[in-house]
Amino acid sequence: MEEAGITANQLIIQTYNKKGDFTLGSTGFIVIAIVTSLLSFALAAWLYGWVKEQPSSNEQIHRVSGYIRQGAATFLNKEYLVLAKFCGVCAVLIFIFLPSPIWKGHILLNFQMALAYIFGALISAAAGKIGIAVATIANAKTAEAAQKGIRLSFLCGFRGGAVMGMAVVGASLLGVALVFWLTGDTTTLLGFSFGASSLALFAKAGGGIFTKTADISADLVGKVELGIPEDDPRNPAVIADNVGDNVGDVAGMGADLFDSNVASMAAALVMGAALDQTMGGTKNVSMVFCYAALGLLASIIGVATARMGKNDNPTFALNSSTYVTTAIFAVLTAIATAVFHLEWRIWGASFVGLLVGVIIGIASDYFTDDAKKPVQLTAKASESGPAFTVLSGVSYGFISTLPALIGIAFSALISYKLCAPLGGDYAMFGISMAAVGMLSIVGMIISNDAYGPIVDNARGLAEMGDLGDDVIDITDSLDSAGNTVKAVTKGFAIGAAGLTVIALLGAFISEVNEAAVAKGLVAAGEKYLTGFDVMDPIVFFGMIIGSAIPAVFSAMLMLGVNRNAQRMVSEIHRQFREIPGLKEGKKDVIPEYDRCIELATTGSLHELIPAGLMTIIATLLVGFIGGVRAIGGFLTGNIISGLLLANFMSNAGGLWDNSKKYVESGHNGGKGSDAHKAAVIGDTVGDPFKDTAGPSINTQITVVSLIASLMASLFLTLSLL
């Protein structure tokens, strides 16, 4: 406990302070966080029961939905088996070396760290399993509910996604609260965060490779070569495509945002605990748990009250729920700040982070919504051929990075300046609380994001179940809203990751300074590091290498998709060639769906490990060569380059996807035209951008930042330079 600067006396719940004002010690806020987490689990259970009780009687839909559910479960089980081996090796290494080598006599601390790492990985894995379980039920319910109208169908899709939102955020807050309460050690908390991040890195990468392998293969052979509909059951890759939506956009994105949420709280608690140790009390730690709990409470209220209005516009309904949740959080935290006498400047930093998150989402929406000019102009360019489709998407994708990066920059600057007058390290703590603020409504964000693949699957099931054009039109409308909102949630996730890793850079400096005092390199109260001079050649060395890592990481993932998709295209061709009557659509002729699922699974598991290992090894090499200054530069370069590429790829991919859908809706020649074929090729390029490499960069940045903080003591004493 003492290592975090928190004594047992300070953890006792207090009723009144010396002035007679009502207040709570940090234990009080931890208890509130735990209770709020349990409340979110209760809501998730109710939503799951509600979705499951919705009627479904179409035999074809039931059968295909079963294929999807079985394929997703098979992939996750195989992926988690591979990741269990990786996490087991990491846990052993952590036990031997962290927080200090085991031969130095702190065996219990090392065991505690390894246990926290495993706990983080297990919770992250469980969140993915829960999301898949409900999403593969909700897709069929959403499709059949569309026969009764768009409102019930929307509610099935949204509430199915909300199970994931409530479970993921509840688990992240509960995990952080329990680890901190039981250990009181922020370094152990970083170990828990690293467990969540390392699993999320591979889960997002593996799911992304799987889903885009199937999506690209199905589109190229089905739409471009044969001119058959997107979800035509004749296509052998169509079930794998639907499985991929779940393992990539439900389990993968859930793990990504779970990781970001845990990392933001961990970074804030590292700096908050250090401030509390210097200034006395537990005010700053209390503030982290207070705001995180109120953010989850706001999401619970937002999810429970979400409905589609009279205008029957699903995009408006989803965005309105986000704005309502934002307003609720702002009001609740303002009330808590006044009642518990917390620091108003910190509240201001949190509110700035939340506001900028919404602004980044709006900017992403502009570049990816088919009602806006960039998508429409890209669709128009498709009339001249696929080269112009690609050029337009790349260009608008690069332009789209400016507002997002300006937002992150201003959020960091304003929160820093706002909290600097408080003295000490409050300026960096302000940035970490801006990240907590931006991620405060992550429960609603995940709910919106998981809604997307559910309604996407529902659209395919409606077509395969022959539910009629009216039902397909409804599910098309829901799917279009999912694509638009998914672009917003990805922009939000990237922005949140940006602030989180800036906060983790501050946490790294705190860890280095604590290690330097412990090793006698500086006197107690002095700082070994206050920042990084970019003109220092060691810092610059790290910065150059760090800036290259996201590009290489992205390339390795996309080459994995490329290789895997080529194998699947060959398999689809084989089935159309060798299965009599398949291409003609003869009755009772069924493709070998399982062959495509198995091929996507095997290929993605083969491809997911190298890219993740490359980033981890590069971080360790730079740290042991150049020490903590080189790592400071490495993290800085990695953050800047990573945020730029993540925003570019996410928005460009979303723009190409919606340009294709805009053409398919009857514009610029419509389905089957040359513009349509060009738009499909643009979407094929964009698929691994937006669903594999782009969102995986968020986790890559977080992973290297956490490794730097955990290894700070070793980098400080064992480097070559």
Residue 506: partners with Cβ closer than 8 Å, 6 or more residues away: 267, 271, 425, 428, 429, 431, 432
Please tell me whether residue 233 adopts helix, strand or coil conformation: coil
Q: What is the pTM of this model?
A: 0.88
Report the alpha-carbon distance of residue 222 to residue 138 in Å, rounded. 26
Of 79, 115, 127, 273, the residue nearest 194 (C-alpha): 115
* Tokens coding 114: 């390894």
pLDDT of 690 > 90? The answer is no
Give bridge partners of residue 16 from the DSSP assignment: 22
3-state secondary structure 15-70: CECCCCCECCCHHHHHHHHHHHHHHHHHHHHHHHHHHHHCCCCCHHHHHHHHHHHH
Going by pLDDT thresholds of 50, 70 and 90, the confidence category of residue 15 is very low
Note whether 397 and 693 are within 8 A (CB). Answer: no
Q: Which pLDDT belongs to residue 20?
A: 35
- Is the CA virtual torsion 160, 165, 168, 169 positive or negative? negative
Please tell me whether residue 208 adopts helix, strand or coil conformation: helix
Stated length of the chain: 721
DSSP 565-584: HHHHHHHHHHHHHHSTTTTT
* Tokens coding 707: 């490794």
Please write the tens of the pLDDT for every residue from 602-616. Answer: 888 888 789 989 999
Please write the tens of the pLDDT for every residue from 115-144. Answer: 999 999 999 888 888 888 888 899 999 999
The phi and psi torsions of 19 (rounded to 5 degrees) equal -85, 0
Report the alpha-carbon distance of residue 142 to residue 136 in Å, rounded. 10
DSSP state of 311: T
Displacement of CA 666 from its chain's centroid (Å): 33
Displacement of CA 192 from its chain's centroid (Å): 17
Please write the tens of the pLDDT for every residue from 531-555. Answer: 899 999 999 999 999 999 999 999 9
Report the alpha-carbon distance of residue 216 to residue 222 in Å, rounded. 10
Please write the tens of the pLDDT for every residue from 487-526. Answer: 677 777 777 778 888 888 888 998 899 889 988 898 888 8
Please write the tens of the pLDDT for every residue from 327-341. Answer: 999 999 999 999 998
Mean pLDDT of 594-602: 90
466-496 burial: b if 16+ Cβ within 10 Å, else e: ebeeebbebbbbbbbbbbbbbbbbbbbbbbb
Please write the tens of the pLDDT for every residue from 555-589. Answer: 999 999 999 999 999 999 999 999 999 888 888 88
Mean pLDDT of 50-69: 88
Going by pLDDT thresholds of 50, 70 and 90, the confidence category of residue 663 is very high
* Tokens coding 65: 């939905």
In the chain, % of residues over pLDDT 70: 96
Report the alpha-carbon distance of residue 278 to residue 424 in Å, rounded. 9
Q: Which pLDDT belongs to residue 24?
A: 57
Calculate ∠ Cα 124-129-130, nearest 5°: 95
Please tell me whether residue 149 adopts helix, strand or coil conformation: coil
pLDDT of 14 > 90? The answer is no
Please write the tens of the pLDDT for every residue from 432-460. Answer: 999 998 888 888 888 988 898 899 889 88
For all residues of the chain together, what is the average pLDDT?
88
Please write the tens of the pLDDT for every residue from 609-645. Answer: 899 899 999 999 999 999 999 999 999 999 999 999 9
Residue tagged 């992250």 (tokens): 124
In the chain, % of residues over pLDDT 90: 50
Note whether 12 and 5 are within 8 A (CB). Answer: no
